[in-house]
Chains A and B, each alone.
Chain A
């Protein structure tokens, strides 16, 4: 079970890293997946900088958690993904944004997986 969990976390971390790198290298291809149209000038700078940092941080923290065996490394991605999901729901409630169920659901599911991993996988010294 733990081996499967580790493999799942590894695959998810690679997925996040690839998404982060795509934001750096080819944002035009990945932006539509998030309902975004690429801006220009400072707007484009923020889109590329913020989005790539978000996904790279997720991937790096998860990999560090796997390699170091320290569960505290799971917490930043759990917090990030949970806040993102909450933010999306608030955007729907307060700002007439679309209810992006297709994005919220994976964010919650991955948060839960990471929470389980942080509980189940043994802590190393």
Chain B
């Protein structure tokens, strides 16, 4: 361990110890944000890697059959959290990840594409990152870090909301919820084009673009541009993988051909067994079979072959991401920066189940063909092809958890979290400490020696962070950062949860959910198979009351009657598509009307004159 690494460790340890017992700090302003007195060059580089829609057991070190050697190596050089939770939807998770503030207060209670008009009337329900929060990038930049970002942003696409205005010095960013991985092309009709920006300006992707490779190339380019100046860097690398459209190079797909021929039930069971072996979930963990999981045996051979290929493309996309993360790690090793770099890897939410159960259904074919995509077996996942995984395989990707993306079940909220680095004293350790996405920014700040702002920053009021640094777990023998009485609430589009100790109350809306609160011990029963609400009524009521307080404190709005996030997405897409043409048509008619009337009057006048 080199001197820089040791001093970074000591510094982080000291800060962590302080953070673990800290009372609320005094208000500070930007000028007085605490940078340690240690020379900035001794502070660690930080690489924050975010996968998109990665399921709980999609990594080899969490029980997957997918080959992810780079992330396994990182897991062996740090701590893997098995009880880490995020928001089960993209932008709210990213807002909390980068600010440490609840998504409702940060302005992103849902993705803008799914907000109802009634909700949009409220300033904090715009689905874009508010100016009342400070990003970790801003805090690090203001204290001497180089700050870079390459990947999906999805926290606002207007000039003042782009990452270049939110603390990132160099950026190449996708503003949308997703896009094609092979070319600059939208993936849903909501967008006219894939909106990429570089350093705040519109950006055209290169011809040889493949998302994971390109984003790592840009990250290396950014890091390399300032490497000699002794300042540490913060690199945020939010991959497009494995968001739809699921696409991967053929060489990464090939090893998985045939691997999924046994179907989703076999895969879900295999992953559970492996996760138990690895200690990711407790032995005997029960599971719930989702109602959206189809009967594999009932499918004809052709359909099974196609479904297995869909999952093979997905696996190939995960492995391609891992491969390119490996290139970044190799680069840092070659440049002598690996030893002083802290890596954080996680996913924005659980596995995505929006792919059609039946890929031949009309709506699905219409959607992909209207965008000019093919869905044929031979080219699935390659350039010009549109692939997804069905809810059945998504449930296997989340194995052994229930539900998936968008839902407050563990399959939507519990994802891998690996914190690794040479400086960490714990190697290859599993932590069962409950942790939440709002903890990432405080953790980064504690390692960087930066004190979080309290109520003001840069001369304006800001929302204080609610997350807690995970440094005590990473650096000491501490088993948890949240006490048994601490609560963490969550809500998105009416799906809701509250965590307290080992317990969680959860509300999943219909049609997939059952529109009622349930209580689970998520440590003993991560699969949420045994509802304890009637067995522990006292705890259940306490947690319901705590959830009510959470909604008041975080200005959670009730969902509009009849709201359904998928219908709202379709409605918003239609609205975006027809609103402008309709308005132009109305105004055109209003403009033409006087001319029409004048013309008629003139003709009538001429006729009268002739008669």
Task: Count A interface residues, CB 8 Å.
Answer: 20
Closest beta carbon of chain B to A14's beta carbon, Å: 7
A37 to B591, CA, bound (A): 28
Tell me if B595 is interfacial: C-beta within 8 Å of chain A.
Answer: yes
Q: Given A37-B202, A40-B159: A26 and B584 within 8 A (CB)?
A: yes
Tell me if B580 is interfacial: C-beta within 8 Å of chain A.
Answer: yes
Tell me if A121 is interfacial: C-beta within 8 Å of chain B.
Answer: no
Q: List 30 contacting pairs A-B, 8 Å CB cutoff, sorted by A.
A: A14-B592, A17-B588, A17-B591, A18-B584, A21-B583, A21-B584, A21-B588, A22-B580, A22-B584, A24-B587, A25-B580, A25-B583, A25-B584, A25-B587, A26-B580, A26-B583, A26-B584, A29-B580, A40-B159, A56-B591, A60-B591, A63-B592, A63-B595, A66-B599, A67-B598, A67-B599, A67-B602, A68-B598, A68-B602, A69-B602
Tell me if A84 is interfacial: C-beta within 8 Å of chain B.
Answer: no
List B contacts of A82 (CB < 8 A). Answer: none
Given contacts A29-B192, A68-B602, 6 further A-B contacts (CB under 8 A): A14-B592, A21-B584, A25-B584, A25-B587, A56-B591, A67-B599
Measured CB to CB, the residues of B under 8 A from A are 159, 192, 202, 580, 583-584, 587-588, 591-592, 595, 598-599, 602
Closest beta carbon of chain A to B68's beta carbon, Å: 40
The answer to whether B580 touches A18, judged by C-beta atoms less than 8 angstroms apart, is no
A101 to B602, CA, bound (A): 40
Closest beta carbon of chain B to A53's beta carbon, Å: 14
The answer to whether A67 touches B595, judged by C-beta atoms less than 8 angstroms apart, is yes
Closest beta carbon of chain B to A37's beta carbon, Å: 6
Which 5 pairs, one residue from A and one from B, show the smallest C-beta to C-beta distance? A26-B580, A21-B584, A63-B595, A67-B599, A21-B587
The answer to whether B595 touches A64, judged by C-beta atoms less than 8 angstroms apart, is yes
A26 to B592, CA, bound (A): 20
A14 to B192, CA, bound (A): 24
Chain A CB count within 10 A is highest, among B159, B202, B580, for: B580
List A contacts of B192 (CB < 8 A). Answer: 29
A68 to B602, CA, bound (A): 8
List B contacts of A18 (CB < 8 A). Answer: 584, 588
A17 to B586, CA, bound (A): 12
A22 to B586, CA, bound (A): 12
Which of chain A's residues has its CB closest to B603's CB?
A: A67
Closest beta carbon of chain B to A25's beta carbon, Å: 5
